[in-house]
Amino acid sequence: MAGGVTDTHVPAPIQGKDDDPWRSKTGKPKLRPPRNFSHYYSFATKNRQGSSVKEFYKYFAIPGIHNLAGGLPHVSYFPFDSLEATVAFPHRLPRESSSHGLQNSGRIASTATSLPSRKVTIPKESDTSDVLRKVDLATALQYGAIDGYPPLRLFIRQFVRENLLPSLPYEGGPEVILTCGATDGLSKTIEIFTDVWVEDRDRIGERQGLLCEEFAYMNAIQTAQPRGINIVPVVVDSQGMRVEGKGGLADVLDNWDFSRGRRPHLMYTVTLGQNPTGSVLPFDRRREIYAFCQKYDIIIVEDEPYWHLQYLSKGIAEHTKFHPDDDSNRDLHGQRSGYPFLDSLVRSYLSMDTDGRVVRLDTFSKIIAPGCRLGWLTAQPSIVRRVLQISETSTQNPSGFVQSMVAQMIMGDQGDDINRKSRASNSPGWRMDGWVRWLEGLRGGYEKRMRTMCTILDEGKFSAIQGSISGDALELDEWEVVQNAQMFDFEWPGGDLSSRVSERSVEISDEKAIPPHCCSWLVICTNGSSERSRVAVYASVLRANGRT
């Protein structure tokens, strides 16, 4: 391939011989190399070569090596002498939601910033020679490694390969590359695997397709649409993308109408906390979908910004349903992650990806802050190399300010190791223990907020307004409370990341009804407002929107 990039081919297994190459001497199955998907590369991807300039950067990290004409600004002219920040300890947020979430959530939110924290400082230059441990401005603010700031990438790679995937699904396992957020990762993935199609220029048979849930994250869809890609929705239910039934994945693929273009070879999916439905795709259905993607040679782009936020009750229920004889969630090879919290989460497509057909997108937006514009992409090495080549001539590496600050927060002072088990809770850095503890606290914090909102909705579903709908009732004192009139039906989340509210018509005294569309404005209060004040606010919203 161009630019020295090679892709791994899977040799055909030998059948009917004792020296089966896919079995070790002990009889256990051997991991196969990931499949080669270069036949799906776009014309631009196939023609793209690695940056000749970036090839030299790897030598700059060698102690004693200096460049004379590389175009790198001298560190002494950087106007920043250090960076400082005050950051939380990873145990700031409680692990689990309690039955008193409604009373406590406000207190926790208001006092969070007063809880213990520590200062982190990033110096101009570090004395540490190990580039995988060095966190300083001289390296972070310089032209750097496109795949990510080495200390931070090392940590994320360890997290993915040792904790997210305790057993690697294929030979060598996946690689990671840091991105400017999940949207950046998606955009580059689409660029790798699709060509631009123009209606009046290209034949319909050349048009490529993208499978997605029928209700999908619009920003992702709008990333693909300008390329002329055929967006192919798949029917969903309360658990996510369906396989069987009319409009399900099997129906779409088995009965594909080629007058619409090529059968889709790419799938975009949010399997956990699906946007906008909030569904969580069960593990057994993931297996079915993956099997169909194998049958039709489809690449899965798994976008998981909410993966760590799934409610504990969901993880337990999911595990109990499909693993009744086991006390934790393991991967396909029976390995645990090393952390009960991670074991409680529904497993990623990566855990079953024996072909290397999954590209997973993760982001720091829901873990730290959206303004970081930082994330990571996990895929087989040949795909990651293609992402890197695009980055070399476009975004290059993510912000050095952000990467260095996140790295210092997690890893602590220079020279600290990042072993999974830190020696103390007040370790200079979060390390792996603290990272997982922070994720667990975020899940608990958002679950408390969910319980607060749902409690208010549940308690308020029997409030309604009685009055004339002739247009004359414009004063607040002309509205009265209708006792025991149910305005909407409400269901608590059943394990997914959503609750369901359906409107009802409300009968009023003159035997007319307020239609449901007039009741679509919900006012959620977290203080002890009186029934009268809630009605007053509701009435004012109705009037403000012409719904009187």
* 429-462 per-position pLDDT tens digit: 899 999 999 999 998 888 888 888 778 777 766 5
Residue whose C-alpha is closest to residue 478's, from 487, 465, 488: 465
Residue whose pair of structure tokens reads 């798994």 in the numeric block: 302
pLDDT at residue 544, rounded to an integer:
52
pLDDT at residue 414, rounded to an integer:
52
pLDDT at residue 337, rounded to an integer:
74
For residue 522, being part of any structural domain is answered with yes
pLDDT surpassing 50 at residue 6: no
Residue 455: Cβ-neighbour burial (10 angstroms; 0-12, 13-18, 19+): middle
For residue 33, being part of any structural domain is answered with no
Structure tokens at 423: 């020696």
pLDDT band at 66 (very low <50, low <70, confident <90, very high): confident
Q: What is the largest CA-CA distance in the chain?
A: 89
pLDDT at residue 453, rounded to an integer:
79
Contacts of 416 (CB under 8 A, 6+ apart): 133, 428, 429, 431
pLDDT surpassing 80 at residue 376: yes
Please write the tens of the pLDDT for every residue from 10-37. Answer: 333 333 344 444 445 555 568 899 999 9
- What's the domain count of the chain? 1
For residue 444, being part of any structural domain is answered with no
pLDDT band at 173 (very low <50, low <70, confident <90, very high): very high
Give dist(CA 481, CA 261) in Å, integer.
57
For residue 510, being part of any structural domain is answered with yes
For residue 483, being part of any structural domain is answered with yes
pLDDT surpassing 70 at residue 224: yes
The pTM for the full model equals 0.77
pLDDT surpassing 90 at residue 350: yes
Residue whose C-alpha is closest to residue 187's, from 160, 222, 211: 222
> Which of 327-331, 339-343, 407-411 ranks highest by mean pLDDT?
407-411
Give dist(CA 437, CA 335) in Å, integer.
20
SS3 406: helix
Please write the tens of the pLDDT for every residue from 455-487. Answer: 877 776 655 455 544 455 445 455 444 444 555
Give dist(CA 269, CA 302) in Å, integer.
5
Give dist(CA 174, CA 169) in Å, integer.
8
> Which of 360-364, 495-499, 528-532 ranks highest by mean pLDDT?
360-364
pLDDT at residue 455, rounded to an integer:
80
pLDDT surpassing 50 at residue 537: no
> Which is higher by pLDDT, 4 or 61?
61
> Which is higher by pLDDT, 357 or 308?
357
pLDDT at residue 418, rounded to an integer:
46
For residue 528, being part of any structural domain is answered with yes
Please write the tens of the pLDDT for every residue from 280-324. Answer: 898 899 999 999 999 999 999 999 999 888 876 544 454 445 444
> Which residues constitute the domain of residue 514?
461-544
For residue 222, being part of any structural domain is answered with no
Summary count for the chain: helices (H), strands (E): 15, 17
For residue 3, being part of any structural domain is answered with no
